Structure 1
Amino acid sequence: MLADIEELVTCESPSTDLAAVAASADVVARVGTRRLGVAPERIVLDGWTHLRWRFGEGAARVLLLGHHDTVWPLGSLATHPFDVTDGILRGPGCFDMKTGVVMAFHAIAALPDRTGVTLLVTGDEELGSHSSRALIEAEAEGCAGALVLEASADGGALKTERKGVSLYRVRVHGLAAHAGLEPERGINAAVELAHQILAVNELGDPALGTTVTPTLMSAGTTTNTVPAAGEFAVDVRARTVAEQERVDKAMHALTPVLGNARLEVTGGPNRPPLEAAASAELFALATELSPEPLSSASVGGASDGNFTAGIGVPTLDGLGAVGGGAHADNEHVIVSALPGRTALVSALVRELLAGRTNPAATSRRRRP
C-alpha cells in the first residue's frame, strides 16, 4: 500500500491543470489495474479526467467514491517531498485524498466477489465537481450505499454529517465620477457593497450551524474615481436543505440601498447537505463490523458524498486515511491505521452486497 500511495502522491495533480490531472489519471489507472486486474473506463468531461471501474454485468449495488485531484500546485513535491518516517506518511495530497484511493483498490481487491461494485475516481472534486456531479449521481442511483474514501475527521472519526455548500457572487453597478471634483454625481459601488456585505453577514444562524461568509471583494479602478462597479463572493454552509433554501431565497431578494444603484446576484447551492439521517444506518453497520470503537463527526467541508446523499442514497464518508493537515503544510497519514481501516471498507462492501441495508427505506430527494 505504501508503494502504491507513493506512486500516486509523486504524480502532482492540481485540479486547475487539466494536463496534470490527465497524467495523474494515467498513474491511478495503472495502479488500479495492477491491483484489480482490470483497466478502468476513462471519462473526460469538460477537460477533466475521471476513472470508473464497474464489476459485474448487472446494476451497481455499492459505489465507492474518491478523487485524484489535489489543491497543491505543481512543484509542491520540492518543498513537501513524499516521506515515511516513524510511522507517519507525508506528501502533497496524501491525506486528501490519494491514500483513500489506494485504500479503495485494496479493499475491493480483497473481496471474494466484486459483482455489483463500482469505483469512481474523479478529477475535479477540489473545484466543486462541476464536470463530475451528474456522473456521480448517475452511478449512485439505486445503490444500497455509497462509501466515500475521503480522509477521516480528527482522531479517525467517520464523517456522518457534512454541511451543504452554496456559492454566490454579488455585483454592484454604480456610476463613476471624479472623487475630488464632483463625487456627488457618482453612485459609489464600494459604499453599496458595504451595505450589502453587512446585510449578507446577518443571514447566518449560529444556532442551526448556518454560516454565511462574505469573502473575496473588489471595487473601483483608481484612487480618485468614485467606483462604478464592484463585487464580492459569498460562501454559505448549511446542515439542512431547508436552511440552504432559506439563505438562497434571501440572497436573491437583496435590494440596493443607494438610489439608482443596481444589484446582480448569481450563484446558488453547489452541494446539498449530507444530513445525519443519510449516514445513520451505515454508521451503525460500520460500528458493528469494526473491531475498534468508532466515533463520528459533523464537518463543514463538503465532498462528493453530499451529492449521493442528496439523491437519497445512504452515504458514509471519511472512510479513508487517518491523519490530518488537509491542504496544509502538516498534511500527513498515520500508517498503522491503514490495514484496519481498509479491512473495514472491504467488510462494509461485503455486507452491503449481501443486502444489509434497504435503499427503499431512505426517501429519495432530488438536489436543491
Structure 2
Amino acid sequence: MKKYSGKDKLIFVILLILNSLVGSSSLHSIEFPNDQSFHSEYDLEWVYIVGHYKLKNEQEVGMELSFFRARSTNQKSKTSIEVFPVHFAISDFTNKKHYSSQILGRKIGGLAFYDQNTIRVENFQIKMNQDGSYDISARPKENSSIAVELKVLTHLGNKLIHGDKGISRKSYLDPKFVSNYYSITRIPTLGKITLNGKSFQISENQVSWLDHEWSRAGLSDQDNSWDWVGFSLEDGSDWMAFRFRKDKVSASEVFASKYEYSKIKTFDPTSDIIFQAQTNKTWKSPLTKKVYPMVWNLSSKSENLDLVIEPIFYEQEFDARKSTGLAYWEGGVRVKGMRNGKPVNGKGYLELKGYK
C-alpha cells in the first residue's frame, strides 16, 4: 500500500470542509453529450463506475472504480490546491474475497493529469472518447494481483438524470447540499479484469453502472453521512436511492430515481418511497471496528414495490484512511422482492458512509 503524507490527507479534508461553505447557485440542467465531459469550473467532481461481471472462466466478480477531484482557490492570491483521489476495488463473488487499492494524486511532479476528457493519476485513468464511450484502466503499482482495462459504451446505456433536470438536492432541511448528478445504467462493457495476477476477458452481454456528479458544495464533508444504492431489476427498470444522515430527522429524507420504458421518475421526501435498514442485520468490520447495517428495504406503495437488498458477502469494506482519511462500505448486492404482484430479482451496488 502506498503511504501518503499527513499533509496530503489533511489537504483533502480541508478542501472538503472549505467547499462545504460555498454556494451552488451556478448548477445547471444536465445536457448530453456535453455533460459527459469533466467540469473544471466546479470545485468538486467525481465519476464512479461499478458492475457485476461474469468472466470467461465462469468466475463472477464486482468492480468499483471511483475518480475524485477536489479544489480550493485562495481568492486573494488566486492560487489553487487540487487533489485527485482514486479508489479501486474488486469483489470476488465466487470466493467471497475483497481486494482494494487507493491513491491520492496531485498535479505536482506530473503525478496527476486532468482535462475536459481525461483524469489520470499514475496508473489509473478514465478517458472519454469522441463517441461518448469511456476507456478506463487501473493497474495499481503496489498490488499487481488486481487490474482492469475496460471500454464502457456509455452512449448505449440508459441515461438516468436525477432531481430536477439533473439538479439533485440531498436535503430539504439543509438546502446547501445540492449537486448536478446523473447515472448511466446498463452500459455494455468490454475488456478484461485481472484477479490474483491472472487476466480474463469478461463474457458477452455484461453491463456497468456509471455515476457522475459535480458541485461547489461539500457533499463529502466529514460531518455528513449517507446511504446510497443503485441497481437494475430483471423487469427492465433501474433504480437509485439515497439518504443523508446528519441527524435522525434528515435520515428520513429519502430521494430516489427510476428509469423504465425510456422514462424517468423522481421521488423526494414528500413521496411514499421508503429506504431503510433492517436494524437486526449488521456486520462489524474486523479492521476498523465499524458496524454497518447490511440488509436494506426499498418500498413504495405507488410503485407496488417491496424489495430486500442484501450483500453478496459482507466483507466489502473500503478502508481509505491512508488516502482520504475515511473508511466506508461499498459492495455488490442482490435485490429480490415483489413488484406489481410478481417476484422480481436484480443486482447492484450499495454504499454506506459515516458509520461508527
TM-score normalised over the length of structure 1: 0.28
Of Structure 1 and Structure 2, which has the larger fraction of its residues in strand? 2
Q: TM-score, normalised by structure 2?
A: 0.29
More helix by share: 1
- Compare relative contact order (CA 8 Å, sep 6+) and give the higher one, 1 or 2: 1
Flag the structure with larger Rg. 1
